[in-house]
Chains A and B, each alone.
Chain A
Amino acid sequence: MKILVAIKHVIDVELNIKVKDGQLDLEGLQYVMSAWDENAVEEAVALKESHDAETVVISIGSDDATVSIRKAFAMGIDAGIHVSDPNLRYPDSLTVAKIINGVRQDKNFDLILLGRQAQDTDNGLTAGLLAEIADLPFVANATKIEVIDEKKLKVTRQADIGKEVIELSLPAVISVNDSINEPRLASLKGIMQAKKKTIETMDAGLLGIDSGEASLVEVMEFLPPVARAQGQKFDGDAQEITEKVVGLLINEAKVL
């Protein structure tokens, strides 16, 4: 099985993100692999360990996305592709989907794994758009992937009405939920060996995509998140606190 995992190198949202003049203030920020993509990488590596798959990651965007590609190597991924282009610093989901599809066609992947959404934009569009463009079957928000045979997977997803179990024929696209696995921490030896692997760089133009015109969506302005109002702290014994809080929820917040 040939697996392509799409990973996004995103601003570490655990840090305080500031907005200046309608733009993100990028000074002093750090970047990490988007959390759901780590689940996708882990799933690919687990499939490789149990079923002898070939695993490749692709990341699109800024030069330092190589950090996330190397982190995927350190977790056990075999090869990496970096599509770098100054116009692609903040591509929209459709452009990303087109590029992934271009690479998919070029290299014949059986399975494309993605996180269910990116940690920075929370859009959750890329996987669905990719499946549509590529005309492939798609399971969103998977919580379990099992191999039936070379051409078939059994995929579980969590829906509001209960668990859905889907038989999926390959090639296919799957986006994963964070409950699918616990991404491993790379060992130092893995990280040091990842340094020696080469990353293939590709040009969006070669895939027939004009990165200058590609994005249909332009973000006009960022607004800072509204500061959280000061909370209230209640001291005393449990009985008293409960009465007080329930009273406030009924009379002030009017939610009960």
Chain B
Amino acid sequence: MEDFLHLNDLLTDEEKIIRETLRKFVDEEVTPLMPSAFERGEFPKKLIMRMAELDLFGMTLPAQYGGAEAGYVSYGLACQELERGDSGLRSFVSVQSSLCMFPIFAFGSEEQKQKYLKPMSEGRIIGCFGLTEPDSGSDPSSMRTRAKKAKGGWLLNGSKLWITNAPIADLAIVWAMTEEGIRGFLIEKATEGFFRNPIEGKLSLRASSTGELVMEDCFISDDQLLPGTDKGLSAALSCLTQARYGIAWGAMGAARDCYERALSYLMERTQFGRPLASFQLIQKDLSEMFNEILKAQMLNYRIGRLKEEKKDNYVMASLAKMNGCKEALKIARMARNLLGANGISLDYHIIRHMANLESVFTYEGTDNIHHLTIGRYLTGLSAFT
């Protein structure tokens, strides 16, 4: 897609190089694998080590914890390029970086950081983040997973559902209710009383592994509690703010791929003796897709710079996530339609993006929930309950 608004002029040399490098990575090593990974319903595991080699895990963290010390615009550009390949791949990076490495960095003890962050940046420990439960989604404060104080630690009981990477993770960050409020716990996969089950039958994000975490009298020692999570639910939500920012960029990556594929298809495909791209109704769709991509990118870019200057807030992340996912899903559906029958074939990639974006639209705060967050900010009135 052409750089219509000269966004390039706003990027540093290293941001341009990161984008170009990941574009090449995705074109050459990711996209060719994705249709069949999606069809088989498997995450292409060989990409984990490749992404670690490229330092994609925890890329914004300090070097002493295995990070690349990249800025937030770099992180956003990376998410955008990865999701051009597949939302499942970007989800993997979001979970590993924003939902697992970030909370250990922000709320962990020095020992916990030393123990986990470097191996996680090297892809040797895969993380997952367990907040959602069978009966607690948009309203996480209603969670039923309990942590009861025991000698030297905690006894956890409950279950978490719809957890990205649960079946393949070595380490789970599990949020549980204690007498003092919600706290985060680090659970290693071999812990007694800790079980993981894959979710089958998904028709979205098929190339991402999703599952259930079950804790049955699962004993977690004191040193596996994240000490900084004494702020309760707001600690968990701050991880989501990090991830939502990346998702806003990522969704536009998927949208761009749909738009680019649709544009080149419509230029070539002839009906009624003319290229489809020459019809007014088609041009209307194309110009709307183009417009929404440009708008979202400018929004994402601005919030990225604000994050770098530490002037951002969680409402901005909600706004960008809401906008990015909603528009990306619309663009994917338009592109799907514009390719006619070919639009439903995995060979043309668009249906895969479209199906994936249904999950991206729902997870990390549904569209409705982000509207409520912004509404509360505008009015000071909470409409959640």
Contact = CB atoms under 8 A, between A and B. Distances in A.
B13 A67 contact: yes
A194 interface: yes
Given A185-B24, A187-B55, A188-B56, A28 B14 contact: no
B48 interface: no
A28 B53 contact: no
Nearest to B270: A230
B20 interface: yes
Contact of B3 (A29, A191, A195): A29
Nearest to B55: A188
Contacts of B25: 185
A32 interface: yes
Q: What bracket does the count of chain B residues touching chain A fall in? A: 20 to 34
A67 B70 CA distance: 16
Contacts of A186: 17, 21
Interface string B72-86: 001000100000000
A192 interface: yes
Nearest to A187: B55
B4 A194 contact: no
Contact of B21 (A15, A64, A191): A191
Nearest to A74: B17
A120 B8 CA distance: 20
B6 interface: yes
Nearest to B71: A192
Interface in B179-219: none
Interface string B264-288: 0000101000000000000000000
Interface string B1-22: 0111010100011101110110
A188 B268 contact: no
Given A71-B20, A185-B25, A230-B268, A191 B14 contact: yes
A32 B24 CA distance: 11
Contacts of B63: 189
Contacts of B372: none
Contacts of A74: 17, 21
Most buried by B among A28, A70, A74, A188: A188
Given A66-B13, A71-B17, A30 B3 contact: yes
A191 B18 contact: yes
Contact of A188 (B3, B4, B16, B68): B68
Interface string A153-182: 000000000000000000000000000000
B59 interface: yes
A28 B5 CA distance: 7
Given A30-B8, A192-B70, A16 B17 contact: no
Contacts of A66: 13
A16 B55 CA distance: 31
B54 interface: yes
Interface in A53-80: 64, 66-67, 70-71, 74
Given A29-B2, A192-B68, A70 B17 contact: yes
Contacts of A70: 13-14, 17
B312 interface: no
Interface string B33-75: 0000000000000000000011110010001000011100010
Contact of B54 (A67, A71, A187): A187
Contact of A67 (B3, B16, B69): B16
B17 A185 contact: no
A192 to B, nearest CB: 5
A28 B68 contact: no
A187 B53 contact: yes
A27 B3 CA distance: 8
Given A28-B3, A29-B2, A188 B8 contact: no
A188 B54 contact: yes
Interface string A179-205: 000000111110110110000000000
B20 A188 contact: no
B14 A16 contact: no
A15 B68 contact: no
A28 B268 CA distance: 23
B39 to A, nearest CB: 23
Given A70-B13, A70-B14, A28 B2 contact: yes
Nearest to B4: A28
Most buried by A among B3, B16, B53, B74: B16
A195 B13 contact: yes
B138 to A, nearest CB: 34
A219 to B, nearest CB: 23
A30 to B, nearest CB: 6
Contacts of A194: 14, 17
A74 B21 CA distance: 10
Given A185-B21, A191-B21, A28 B55 contact: no
Given A185-B54, A188-B54, A188-B70, A67 B2 contact: no
B251 to A, nearest CB: 22
Interface in A1-60: 15-16, 27-30, 32
Contacts of B12: 195
Contacts of A188: 18, 54-56, 59, 68, 70, 74, 78
Most buried by B among A66, A67, A70: A67
B27 to A, nearest CB: 9
Interface of A: 15-16, 27-30, 32, 64, 66-67, 70-71, 74, 185-189, 191-192, 194-195, 230
7 contacts: A28-B4, A29-B2, A186-B17, A188-B55, A188-B74, A191-B68, A192-B69
The 7 closest A-B CB pairs, nearest first, are A188-B55, A28-B2, A188-B68, A28-B3, A189-B68, A187-B55, A70-B13
Given A186-B21, A194-B14, 11 more contacts: A15-B2, A70-B14, A186-B17, A187-B55, A188-B68, A188-B70, A189-B55, A189-B63, A191-B18, A192-B68, A195-B14
